[in-house]
Amino acid sequence: MPTVLLVNTQPVLRALLEKRFTQEGFGVHAASWDQGLELLREARPDLVVLGQDEQHSPEAWLEACSPCCPALILLTTGESGQESAPGEVARLRMPFRPSDLLALARKAVTG
């Protein structure tokens, strides 16, 4: 079973995505930004879904975890003109359809 780490500062969105990924057969770990790095190192997921927010820099988070960063889907709040992060397989602009995220996730873990 593929595993996904959902990192997001919005508890409601995190809970919704956790439910949807579980229904689709993923093993799921969910965390806030502050808990995410520790959980990444412990859980070693196949995929990270990282939700961007105004208070946290995705680049700083990714730099800290790059040695063990699996495939990544970045959820953005603005323009996607930034450079791709290491391991990034997709970028989705919020708001997004959960079905689009799940399709990208399946593709990322199956190659």
- pLDDT by residue for the chain (111 residues), tens only, comes to 999 999 988 889 999 999 999 999 999 999 988 888 888 888 888 898 988 766 766 666 666 666 666 788 888 876 655 666 667 788 888 888 999 999 999 998 887
pTM of the model: 0.86
- The DSSP bridge partners found for residue 14 are none
* d(C-alpha 26, C-alpha 20), whole Å: 9
